[in-house]
Structure 1
Amino acid sequence: MEKYVDGFLIPIAKGRVNEYREMAQRGGEIWKELGALEYYECIGDDLDVEDMVSFKKAANTSEDETVIFSWIVFESKEHRDRVNAAVMNDPRIKEMMESGAEPPFDYRRMAYGGFKTLVRF
């Protein structure tokens, strides 16, 4: 069976990366515990490639920002839906979201999509 992937492109202030890392670490542990197969959070490194649209441009970053590229792997779209529903109902996630602390990035600027596998090795 082919896998299903949720993908994210997130602009973030360079000064808030460590805060994001802590949040992502907790989130990743919860997603994996509740059934995600794989969970990745990657920070931009080699982003200015000549003659291509950079991830920074795609995310409309400012000079003091970089991007997070992340993805979560599931067995299927249906599996993704079940896991994500369980995650959103998990009290640890609710606590993180309702803590009153300012999130390390602006959710409205995050690009997100669900992807069916096209090629896999």
Structure 2
Amino acid sequence: MPAGAAPVSTVGVESSRVRSTRIEHSVRQMEEVTMSYIDGFVAAVPTENKQRFVEHARAANEVFLEQGALRALECWGDDVPRGKVNDFYGAVQAREGETVVFSWIEWPDKATRDAAMGKMEELMKTDPRMNPEQNPMPFDGMRLIYGGFEPVVVLGE
């Protein structure tokens, strides 16, 4: 060190390097872990059909769990604001006397989900829980919106 020069602390630099290494390690770990896959649904259900919806969903979701789904959630609209340009109501063309529901099924991975979906046509013929005549949807399925989603950020459990 030159005469009269103040010593330079490397504590902060070292801490930054350690943090950076930890973050890089965490990212590598996340890349190695197979991410779950999510099927999401939004529908408009006649409010008077809430109990029928719950019964229908419970029966159908049992089948998804048997096919490998990790969990299924059915959520009844409680605090769904109206938007100025777009909102959940408009997305499903909700009418007076209907409640918006938001649902999702979590799968361990896309392969498990795809295998389960590959069995649905047959299950709709053989399993009364999936048969539209024996367990009809208590809402207009033509206004149901759905899609498969790959998580990109997962925090918490």
Question: Do both share a fold (TM > 0.5)?
Answer: yes
Q: Which has the higher strand share?
A: 1
1:117 aligns with 2:147: no
2:113 is the counterpart of 1:84: no
* The 10-residue stretch of structure 1 (4-13 or 87-96) with the greater mean CA deviation from structure 2: 87-96
- Of 52, 58, 72, the residue aligned with 1:39 is 72
Query: Aligned-pair RMSD on alpha carbons?
Result: 2.1
Aligned to 1:11: 44
**Residues in 1 aligned to 2:103 and 2:41: alpha-carbon distance in whole angstroms:** 5
TM-score normalised over the length of structure 2: 0.67
Aligned to 1:108: 142
Q: Deviations over 1:32-68 (max 9, x none)?
A: 1221011111100001166674322322211211111
Q: Given the two structures, how large is their TM-score scaled by the length of structure 1?
A: 0.85
What does 1:50-89 correspond to in 2, within 5 Å? 53-89=86-122
Higher relative contact order (CA 8 A, sep 6+): 1
Runs of 4+ in 1 over 6 A off after TM superposition: none
- Gaps of at least 5 residues in structure 2 are 1-33
Among the aligned pairs, what percent are the same residue? 32
5+ long unaligned stretches in structure 1: none
